[in-house]
Homo-oligomer: A and B are copies of this chain.
Amino acid sequence: MEKQITIKDIANAAKVSIATVSRVMNMPEKVAPETKQKINQIMKDMKFTPNAFAVGLIKNTIKTVCIILPDINNLFYPPLLRGIEDRLQSHGYNGFICNTDKSIEKEMFYIENFIGKNVDGFVFVGTRPLGLKNNEHLLELNKRIPIIMVNDDILGSNIYSVMTDEVNGAYIATTHLIKLGHKKIAFINGNEKLTTYEYKLQGYKRALEDNDISFDKNMVICGIANEKGGFYAGEEILASSIKPTAFFTESDQIAMGLVKSLFFHGYHVPGDFSVVGFGGVPLFEQLYPGLTTIDQFPYKTGEMAADKIIKIINGEKIQQRKTVIEPELIIRESCKAFTR
């Protein structure tokens, strides 16, 4: 559009050299107050903003991070992304957001793309497919550029991470139901080979075990991990001979669909069935009934991830490779004691 205003234009207007103009921006203490004053004024008047490419060429940073996640439509991510963004912002950084739909190809494409754009680091958000071959490229990348994983972790690697203790979260959820007197607790899980599903299953099993309830694999329904999957899971269970009295779902979003299915068939929650979700998405406080769930503190998770990647970028010492966030039970209205 318009010709860009350069440091040269400012220098001419101020009758000084470009070096002085540069100095008022980078080492303002080394320039005389009046000169500084004058130059600052002129920069404002002419709406000067330094060319980021030129600066980047020299400083080799553009204060930008690339955030890679499965899909922003998953309700867990918006608050998490806000946490990241707000925090990056306060450090003077910005973030690109990239949706991969869990496709490793897309992920690799984005990585190439953004290495080309000289980002300062990568944040990988969300659970990852199991298997080394899906994660090898991250190990490679980690040698070139600062990266961090959020809500997943590659054991035995030296990749930094911030994640919820999901095993414990699932344990707490299941235990809550058991303490309420439920013994027949169905678990609605996702059906892909993702670490998060493994963790939650572990926690669920362990809670049963610790309470001498035998694990029944028919009680585990694996489907699509969203509200539709939750609905279908409900339909499937109600049509089957499985008769749980309570449900633990892998995500809040699944819980929503499940609850719909239950109501749809004339049941009441928590009157007939208790439901515990997982995530802590603020929205579901306003579900009917208010969803009892495991809070993963998505916003806080994002903040911690942002702080950590910035530290890594700045070469600061990090205490622990893996930061664990302990989840907490939020009791709302979707559970009831089972008495019979």
A residues neighboring B (CB under 8 Å)? 1-2, 4, 49-54, 56-57, 60, 62, 64, 71-73, 75, 77-79, 81-82, 85-86, 94-99, 112-118, 143-146, 227-228, 230-231, 253, 256-257, 259-260, 263-264, 282-283, 285-288, 290
Contact B288 A264 (CB under 8 A): yes
CB pairs A–B below 8 angstroms (24 shown): A1-B143, A1-B146, A4-B60, A49-B115, A49-B116, A51-B118, A52-B53, A52-B116, A52-B117, A53-B53, A53-B56, A53-B57, A72-B72, A82-B99, A86-B99, A95-B96, A96-B97, A227-B285, A227-B286, A253-B283, A256-B283, A259-B288, A260-B288, A263-B288
Select one of B60, B73, B118, B263 contacting A78, CB under 8 A. B73
Known A82-B99, A96-B95, A288-B264; contact A50-B143, beta-carbon cutoff 8 A: no
In Å, the complex CA distance between A264 and B286 comes to 11
Starting from the known contacts A1-B146, A51-B118, 19 additional A-B residue pairs (CB-CB under 8 Å) come to A2-B143, A4-B60, A52-B117, A53-B56, A53-B60, A53-B62, A53-B118, A72-B78, A73-B82, A75-B75, A81-B97, A85-B98, A94-B96, A94-B117, A227-B286, A230-B286, A256-B287, A260-B286, A260-B288
Nearest Cβ in chain B — how far from A288, in angstroms?
Answer: 4
Q: Chain B residue with minimal CB distance to A228?
A: B286
In Å, the complex CA distance between A57 and B118 comes to 13
Nearest Cβ in chain B — how far from A232, in angstroms?
Answer: 10
Known A1-B145, A53-B53, A94-B117; contact A286-B79, beta-carbon cutoff 8 A: no
Contact A50 B116 (CB under 8 A): yes
Residues of B within 8 A of A288 (CB): 259-260, 263-264, 288
Nearest Cβ in chain B — how far from A85, in angstroms?
Answer: 6
Residues of B within 8 A of A259 (CB): 288
Q: Chain B residue with minimal CB distance to A290?
A: B260
Nearest Cβ in chain B — how far from A296, in angstroms?
Answer: 16
Contact A95 B97 (CB under 8 A): yes
Residues of B within 8 A of A73 (CB): 78-79, 82, 282
Residues of B within 8 A of A287 (CB): 256, 260
In Å, the complex CA distance between A144 and B2 comes to 6
Residues of B within 8 A of A99 (CB): 82, 85-86
Best-buried of A53, A144, A290 by chain B (most CB within 10 Å): A53
Best-buried of A116, A143, A144, A230 by chain B (most CB within 10 Å): A116
In Å, the complex CA distance between A263 and B287 comes to 10
